[in-house]
Amino acid sequence: MKVGIIANPHKKGAASTINALTEVLAKHNITSLLEDESAKIIGVQSGYSAAELAKNCDVITVLGGDGTMINAAHRIGPTSTPIAGINIGTLGFLTSCTDDELELFAQALIDQSYKVIPRILLETCITYADGKTESDFAVNELTLSRGQTGRLISLDAFIDGALLNHYHADGLIVATPTGSTAYSLAAGGPLLSPIAKAFVITPICPHSLTNRSLVLDDSSEVELVTTDESDCLAFYSIDGRDVIELPCDARISIKKADHQLHLLRLKDRSHFSTLRKKLNWG
C-alpha cells in the first residue's frame, strides 16, 4: 500500500506530524510518498505534485484542517483516490481523525476498517460577453458578494432556465451538502446530510426578509447574473480561495460536477457525531 502525504506548511506541528505519520506507516509496511511542499517541511529535497500522488497512491492523507482539505482537493483535481484528513488540532468536519490517532488510522488502513464517502461537487462556469468561459469546481460553495463596499448588489437567479428570484442583498451562496456546514450555515442556511443529492441557495443578508434558503435537487442547474440595479460591482469566490471581480455582463452557471470528492472515514465515526461535537449539541 502507498499513502500520499500533503501537509499545511503554516500549521504548527506539521513537521512533527509528518515524521510521526511516516514512522507509523513504515511500522505497518506502508510506503509514504510526500507532496513537494510537504517534503520541504522535513528537509526532503524532492517530492510529488498533488496530482501525481493521486495517480500513484492508494490513499492520500491531508494534514491540517478543513481549509487544507479543500485546498488539497483543488490541487489534486478529479480523482477516485480516497482522501483522509488528519486534523492537526481539533476535529474538523472533513477530517478522518486527529494527529494523536495515527496508530489507529494506520491500523484501519491495514484492516480496511474504513468507509469511503463520496461527496458531490459543483461545477462552475463563468461566461463573458465575448463568449470566453472559465470553469472550475467547488467543494463547499460559490459565493457572489458585494466585496468591500457597504452597498447591496442586485442579481437574478434562474433554475433550469426559469427565474427563481430577483435578489437585492449582500450576496448569494450556492453550496454543496459539504458546504452546508460552512458559510451557508453562518448565513442562516440549513444543514444537509453529506450524502444528500441536493445543494442549497442561501441569500446573504437579503433586503427582503421573505428571501429564504432553498434546497434544490442536484440535477438542477443554477444561473446567476447581476442586474443594472446593482449599487456596486459584484465579486465571486469559489471555496473562499480567491475573490475576483465579476463583469456586469458575465453570467455564472452552476451544476453538479461530473466527479466527486471521496472522503475516507473510520468506521466508528459518523458525520453526525462530528456535528454534535463541533456545534456543541447536547
How many CA atoms are closer than 13 Å to the CA of 158, on its beta-carbon side? 11
- Beta strand pairing call for 243-246 and 234-238: antiparallel
Nearest CA to 204 among 189, 222, 225? Answer: 189
Cα–Cα distance measured from residue 277 to residue 97, given in angstroms and rounded to the nearest whole number: 13
Please name the helix (run of DSSP H) or strand (run of DSSP E) that holds residue 246, with its range, or none: strand 243-246
Place of cell 500549521: 11
What is the total residue count of the chain?
282
Spell out the residues 6+ positions from residue 101 whose beta carbon is closer than 8 angstroms to its own: 86
Helix (H) or strand (E) holding 196: none
Instruction: In whole angstroms, give the CA distance from residue 115 to residue 109.
Output: 10
Three-state SS letters, 212-238: CCEEEECCCCEEEEECCCCCCCEEEEE
Residues with active-site annotation: 66
Bind-site residues: 66-67, 140-141, 151, 168, 170
- Other Cβ atoms less than 10 A from the Cβ of 92: the count is 20
Alpha-carbon gap, residue 60 to 34, rounded angstroms: 10
Strands 59-64 and 83-87, sheet pairing: parallel
Angle of helix 14-27 relative to helix 102-111, nearest 10 degrees, comes to 40
Q: Could you tell me which of 30, 40, 45, 31 has the C-alpha nearest to residue 6?
A: 40
